[in-house]
Amino acid sequence: MKAVAIQAFGSPEGMAVIDVPDPSPGAGQVLITPAAIGVGGVDAMIRSGALAAYGFKEGHIPGGEIAGTIAAVGDGVDPSWTGQRVWAFTGAGGGYAEQALAPAATLVPLPVGVSAADAVTVGSSGAVACFSLRHARFVRGESVLVRGAAGGIGIMTVQLAAHGGATAVAVTTSSAERGDRLRKLGATHVLDRAGEGSQDAPAGYDVIIDIVAGPDMPSFFARLNPNGRMVAVGIVAGYPPADFGMDMFAAFQKSTSFATFSTDSVAQPDRRAAIADLFAAAGRGDLQSVVHEQLPLEQAVLAHQKMATGEVFGRIVLTPPGV
């Protein structure tokens, strides 16, 4: 079969289409014929070599999130899965391919009305959004700031916060055009990347979901209300300064909190249940999937180039040949 592999760490051009043997499902695994493959920020980090210390090697086939039809099941997996349309998290990669393996424990069936492209746009990003808001103990009537709202996670967080009864959903983004698109998804206040630019934005927020981190992250602690909670879920701008906690200590009397959050810390059954709920909401039209562009699998290099330019709003989806 055809697959896209990282031949050399670094730029997108280090990836290439190669021929590899058809995979065969082991115990607890399923073989999926993907109809859609999500292109995520983590794929780009792996491709760059930034995660080499975590065991990723050149030759790796990226792709953690796929949706398609189950072609075969391994030992210990209910054979009735065969032929079902599902979303799956491959875990270790392997998704940029005509056939891919995934642990059966991650499978979520696709309801009628939810396409494979919708599923890989809503699934993983929606789970991060949903659980990060829970991690922040967000409740109806609180105000939320989403830092880095124009990506897959941010778009889902904005929608879930708005549907969850936030009094304000402020976003940071780099252009007025993106701000308008985010308003249509539920944002109430549009700020620039520095958190400025809106006259009527709240002075403080009960919850900040931060997908960006980087050198500017500590300046956002000052925007937390008393008892406010910031949850960092991404490092789009890199790690924060080593002494970032000092800005919180400077406002000790506000009793603010900082936490990191990864869906890796959520048990699989809870993740599956949340993603099934998100798909149901998408099927009802209550949650929008924002697909930036669909590209053929063999144009994975172009997909990563587009991500590197920062032009992507939402998610790029790869489509294998014949879909």
Ligand X SMILES: NC(=O)c1ccc[n+]([C@@H]2O[C@H](COP(=O)([O-])OP(=O)(O)OC[C@H]3O[C@@H](n4cnc5c(N)ncnc54)[C@H](OP(=O)(O)O)[C@@H]3O)[C@@H](O)[C@H]2O)c1
Task: Check residue 73 for interaction with ligand X (CB under 6 A).
Answer: no
Question: Least distance from C-beta 110 to ligand X, angstroms?
Answer: 20
16, 42, 71, 251: residue in contact with ligand X (rule CB under 6 A) = 42
CB contact set of 121 (below 8 Å; sequence gap of 6+): 38, 152, 289, 290, 291, 314, 315, 317
Size of the site for ligand X (CB under 6 A): 25
Stretch that binds ligand X, among 13-21, 196-204, 258-266, 277-285 (CB under 6 A): 258-266
Of all residues in the shown chain, the one whose CB is closest to ligand X is 151
Going residue by residue from 216 to 235, which x/- string records binding to ligand X, judged by CB under 6 A? Answer: -----------------xxx
Task: Check residue 154 for interaction with ligand X (CB under 6 A).
Answer: yes
18, 50, 237, 280: residue in contact with ligand X (rule CB under 6 A) = 237
Q: Label the pairing between strands 85-89 and 65-73.
A: antiparallel
Task: Check residue 274 for interaction with ligand X (CB under 6 A).
Answer: no
Which stretches of 195-322 are assigned E, i.e. beta strand? 205-210, 224-232, 257-260, 291-296, 315-319
Q: Which of 274, 270, 317 is nearest to 297 (CA)?
A: 317
Helical (H) or strand (E) element with 31 = strand 29-39
205, 258, 261, 279: residue in contact with ligand X (rule CB under 6 A) = 261
214, 218, 228, 240: residue in contact with ligand X (rule CB under 6 A) = 214
11, 24, 174, 219: residue in contact with ligand X (rule CB under 6 A) = 174
Structure tokens that stand for 68 in this block: 């398609």
Give one word for 208, left, alpha or beta, with left for phi > 0 and alpha for psi -120 to 50.
Answer: beta
Stretch that binds ligand X, among 103-111, 152-160, 242-250, 287-295 (CB under 6 A): 152-160
Q: Which of 20, 160, 147, 11 is nearest to 94 (CA)?
A: 20
3-class DSSP state for residue 72?
strand
CB contact set of 29 (below 8 Å; sequence gap of 6+): 73, 74, 77, 101, 102, 103, 104
- CB-based contact 212:231 (threshold 8 Å): no
Task: Check residue 303 for interaction with ligand X (CB under 6 A).
Answer: no
Question: Least distance from C-beta 24 to ligand X, angstroms?
Answer: 28
Give the residue with the Cβ less far from ligand X, 24 or 219. Answer: 219
Task: Check residue 160 for interaction with ligand X (CB under 6 A).
Answer: no
DSSP 130: H
Residues that bind ligand X (CB under 6 A): 41-42, 128, 148, 150-154, 173-174, 178, 193, 211-212, 214, 233-237, 261-263, 310
